[in-house]
Structure 1
Amino acid sequence: MKLWAKGTDPEPKIIDYTAGNDSFTDLAFAKWDIVGSMAHVTMLGKQGLISTDEKVDLLKKLATLLDKDAKGKLRIEDGIEDIHSQIEKELVALLGDTGKKIHTGRSRNDQVLVDIRLYSRELIDSTACLVGILFGKLQQLSEKHKNLLIPGYTHMQPAMVSSFGMWFGSYAEALTDDLLTLSSARAMNNRNPLGTAAGYGSTLPIDRKITTELLEFDDLLYNSAYASLSRGKIEMSIASALASLAQTLGRFAMDSCLFMSAEYRFINFPDEYITGSSIMPQKRNPDVFEIMRGKMNVIQTLPGQIAMLVSNLPSGYNRELQLLKQMIFNAFNDIQETVSILNIMLDNIIVRDDIMDSALYNPIFSTEEANRLAKAGMPFRDAYKEVANMVKMGKPFRKTSLDEYSHDGSIGNLCNAKIATLFKERMSGFKGRTAYEIAEKILSVNSLAQ
């Protein structure tokens, strides 16, 4: 079944190639296609484009299909092009001509667009929730280990005094900014394209504000032509947010690989969380963090991939835009899987408490020696040169203590509470409403609450 069929059977290989993996991708957002249709039917009823009885019948059957999908029983049958066609086919089988009215006032273009935006919103919100759990773990570890000093590095050389508290806390604050980019992507995504049809509107007296409110979009996507033009732009915004988060996760993974190496041994994990070698008995490999690093590097290429896909397209819908769906949804899957496994690893991380006992790291106290001379009145540049000579002569330096660091953001004043407040403020925009909650609301509006 093809919604666009006009009496000619298309070559099956053409359909297979152009549809690609759409059938698998479509099932992922089937629930949102059904919920979008429920909102659309409600609007058609209010506008007198279908009768009250037809509206009620369609809503009841759509609710049945939603339940079928929730139980994992909804399938795209052989010969059916996509989830939209499958749902319309089932409605026609159940309701006859009434089922054929589901497509009144909309195109498959805006139907796909609303599905993608609703599903993307769900994925953004669930990703933010997982990031919130990760943020909490990093802050807990930062507080727990804030008194354990470690060397801080620049150019991969021991540089200045740091702490496990600062290391864990820095990644927690990075997630706070990642949340801001994710929030921005959510805001761009959360505008309603339903009713823009094929990108040029319709002569039917539809009311797009009704579906906007029912589906809990922030606003309309107003210009109908921009609906298709926004394809690629919205995905780019989402991809950029995911790439920002991937950068944070990837850099933490790289740090962990280094800190687990024999030359560092700053952190470790129980045997159950690392792998070994088939020939080298001593090996303790950080495979989780290596895979994490690789997957996050791939996600950071996603904005470039999307740019190449859409950069020379004319306005209006073009078929290659469907490739965006799998690119974005696969990236969400990898991000969520990575955050989840990192949460598990952090629950089992072991940190060393004697790192700074090594004479290897004594020179990192040299900067604070120069600062002490400067506080005593010596010009800093002269103090720098004097301490540099001490380094050359191999003289040891007095270790500084945490209470000597008092300014905001130093190892003695990590400001974790302020960072937590900022994170909480930025989390407030992720509402996390499910398809089933919105469906229940739509049924309630129509006095059909289950």
Structure 2
Amino acid sequence: MSEKKSPLWHGRFSDGPDADALAFQSSIGIDSRMALDDVRGSIAHALMLGKAGIIPADESAAIVKELRSIYGELESGSLKIDWAAEDIHSFVEGVLTERLGDAGRKVHTGRSRNDQVALDERLYLRRIVPELQTGILSLVETLSSIASKHTETLMTGYTHLQRAQPVTLAHHLCAWSWPLVRDYGRFSDALARIDRMPLGSGALAGTGLPLDRRLVADELGFSALTENSLDAVSDRDYCLELASAIAILMTHLSRYCEEIIIWSTEEFKFIELSEKWSTGSSIMPQKKNPDFAEVIRGKTGRVYGDLIALFTMMKGLPLSYNKDMQEDKENLFDAYDTAFSCLRIFTHMVASIRWNTERLESSCTGGHANATDLADYLVRKGLPFRKAHAAAAGVVRECIDSGIPDMIDLPLDRMKIHSDLIEPDVYPLLEPASCVKARDLPGGPNPDRVREQIAALNDFVIKNRLPL
């Protein structure tokens, strides 16, 4: 390929950067993953150039035919990318020009690398984001499947990492699932704004040639055009939005991993991780460490760094395109790759957990997690809530001073010291299972309400799962 080492812009220069400088600003190591998207965009552009009469129809057809051949060769691996090329756009155009000569040189008519890059990036993201969403669906499905087996399995819910109120394991796993549903929605929202076709914006001001932007958009399956040529090549909001959505997803995974790490300790012993998803110690023979959960928790910081790098890159740039924006892909792609792998590992890890149901249920006794239910009992008997709260707190204090671990074991006469409204009928209501069943509001831990959530989660997965 005779011209592949020359930058696309070299014609204006009598001299130029040396090899080290060109290598420094080369992006092909990162943007090569958009090779197929670059070819697709060029095919649509060449078709349009021919149909609009901007280049001869026979040359348009020849370009399209050769680009389709290049696409197949890249896909099969028979065409190897030249890592000395400046970027993937230069590489593809160089191959085309080598094969077609001057006809190949016409593929860039009416196009700038500024709008070409924006197009390739949007095409690529539109292609890969649904794969991340599929991973989310798999995790939600795994969690709802586990939850369906534990709608009656009691455990304590915590605030401040202190025992708070009885719930069920299923309720807690549903609480893991709904943020993932929101994550899925955030990616859908991001895709809606990615779905804008920027080609035809040129470097910043479009072109005087009669390009048919709508034809290109239709050919590539975009629902709309970018509205302003200057904005179209300046915009990386879609990168920021997508990276933000990825960072939020990682926040959720990190929080769940934190709970897994805590729950797997001897002190909690709520769960036992499979040996396939644990590691040992190089010095302590007894250790079984939740390393995979810890790595996911650690990688969350890496994704935050990618997001902050993107924001920092963009915050001071004047419109329109600046070379700084070349750095968007490395951070965005890293964030995506990290989240994709973490999501897959987390799903397998959770599926392998053995739930210690006896230990979970025992966490509901002691710690007075039923104190709020005593207050609710008094409210139903007509006592104002603040007085009911004070009476229940007095019962708790009585138990603490007497060394009684749970108020259900406090004799009635000592309960009545704090409110004469307390009767023997209070004791069944203070059983953990009764506390859970009493919370029969939508979204609550009552087993029937949790089953409704599980059904809704399953419907969400079925509705959004793409057909095979």
Aligned to 1:313: 317
After superposition, where does 1:26-65 map in structure 2 within 5 Å? 26-65=31-70
Q: Distance in 2 between matches of 1:35 and 1:382?
A: 70
Q: Distance in 1 between matches of 2:209 and 2:117?
A: 20
Q: Distance in 1 between matches of 2:324 and 2:368?
A: 58
* Structure 2, gaps ≥5 residues long: 409-429
Q: Cα distance, 1:53 vs. partner?
A: 2.0
Aligned to 1:299: 303
**Secondary structure of 1:300's aligned partner:** helix
Q: 1:133 aligns with which of 116, 127, 138?
A: 138
Q: Cα distance, 1:85 vs. partner?
A: 1.3
**Secondary structure of 1:29's aligned partner:** helix
1:12 maps to 2:44: no
Aligned to 1:439: none
Equivalent residue letter for 2:319: S
Q: Distance in 1 between matches of 2:55 and 2:366?
A: 77
Aligned to 1:409: 443
Moved more, 365-374 or 396-405: 396-405
Q: 1:184 aligns with which of 184, 189, 205?
A: 189
Q: 2:290 aligns with which of 261, 281, 286?
A: 286
Q: Distance in 2 between matches of 1:46 and 1:248?
A: 49
Q: Cα distance, 1:393 vs. partner?
A: 2.7
Aligned to 2:331: 327
Aligned to 2:78: 73
- 1:304–1:26 CA distance, 2 compared to 1 (3 A): closer
Higher RCO (CA 8 Å, separation ≥ 6 residues): 1
Q: Distance in 2 between matches of 1:188 and 1:368?
A: 47
**Secondary structure of 1:363's aligned partner:** coil
Contact 2:39–2:71, Cα closer than 8 Å, also in 1? yes
Q: Cα distance, 1:358 vs. partner?
A: 5.1
1:102 maps to 2:107: yes
Q: Distance in 1 between matches of 2:213 and 2:395?
A: 74
Aligned to 2:415: none
Aligned to 1:341: 345
Q: 2:456 aligns with which of 412, 418, 443?
A: 418
**Secondary structure of 2:370's aligned partner:** helix
Contact 1:244–1:300, Cα closer than 8 Å, also in 2? no
Equivalent residue letter for 2:265: S
Contact 1:250–1:297, Cα closer than 8 Å, also in 2? no
Q: Distance in 1 between matches of 2:364 and 2:185?
A: 42
Equivalent residue letter for 1:340: R
Equivalent residue letter for 1:102: V
Aligned to 2:241: 237
Equivalent residue letter for 1:12: A
After superposition, where does 1:139-158 map in structure 2 within 5 Å? 139-158=144-163
Deviations 1:407-445 (A, max 9, x none): 1111111231234445666x48xx899xxxxxxxxxxxx
Contact 2:28–2:83, Cα closer than 8 Å, also in 1? no
- 1:275–1:65 CA distance, 2 compared to 1 (3 A): same
Deviations 1:18-73 (A, max 9, x none): 22xx2221221100001111111111111012223222222221111111111233
Q: Cα distance, 1:281 vs. partner?
A: 2.0
Q: Distance in 1 between matches of 2:282 and 2:346?
A: 25
Q: 2:252 aligns with which of 248, 255, 264?
A: 248
Q: Cα distance, 1:14 vs. partner?
A: 1.1
Q: Distance in 1 between matches of 2:339 and 2:369?
A: 36
Q: Cα distance, 1:9 vs. partner?
A: 4.8
Deviations 1:239-264 (A, max 9, x none): 11111211111111111111111211
Aligned to 1:438: none
1:223 maps to 2:257: no
**Secondary structure of 2:279's aligned partner:** coil
Aligned to 1:209: 214
* Structure 1, gaps ≥5 residues long: 434-450
Equivalent residue letter for 2:199: L
Contact 1:192–1:221, Cα closer than 8 Å, also in 2? yes
- 1:50–1:432 CA distance, 2 compared to 1 (3 A): farther
Q: Distance in 2 between matches of 1:192 and 1:320?
A: 22
Aligned to 1:400: 432
- 1:177–1:324 CA distance, 2 compared to 1 (3 A): same
Contact 1:147–1:163, Cα closer than 8 Å, also in 2? yes
Aligned to 2:357: 353
**Secondary structure of 2:369's aligned partner:** helix
Equivalent residue letter for 2:276: E
Aligned to 2:414: none
Q: Distance in 2 between matches of 1:227 and 1:92?
A: 28
Contact 1:299–1:331, Cα closer than 8 Å, also in 2? yes
Equivalent residue letter for 2:320: G
Q: Distance in 2 between matches of 1:359 and 1:343?
A: 28
After superposition, where does 1:381-396 map in structure 2 within 5 Å? 381-394=386-399, 395=404, 396=406
Q: CA RMSD in A?
A: 2.0
Equivalent residue letter for 1:186: L
Q: Cα distance, 1:285 vs. partner?
A: 0.7
Equivalent residue letter for 2:150: H
Q: Cα distance, 1:374 vs. partner?
A: 2.0
Contact 1:374–1:383, Cα closer than 8 Å, also in 2? yes
Q: Cα distance, 1:144 vs. partner?
A: 1.6
Structure 1 length normalisation: TM-score? 0.90
1:266 maps to 2:304: no
**Secondary structure of 1:150's aligned partner:** strand
Moved more, 23-32 or 301-310: 301-310
Contact 2:23–2:86, Cα closer than 8 Å, also in 1? no
The list of structure 1 runs, each at least 4 consecutive aligned residues, that deviate by more than 6 angstroms after superposition, is none
Q: Cα distance, 1:298 vs. partner?
A: 2.6
Q: Distance in 1 between matches of 2:210 and 2:124?
A: 27
Deviations 1:250-303 (A, max 9, x none): 111111111111211111122121011112122111110111011123323443
Deviations 1:304-330 (A, max 9, x none): 322211111111111010001110011
Structure 2 length normalisation: TM-score? 0.87
Q: Distance in 2 between matches of 1:302 and 1:366?
A: 45
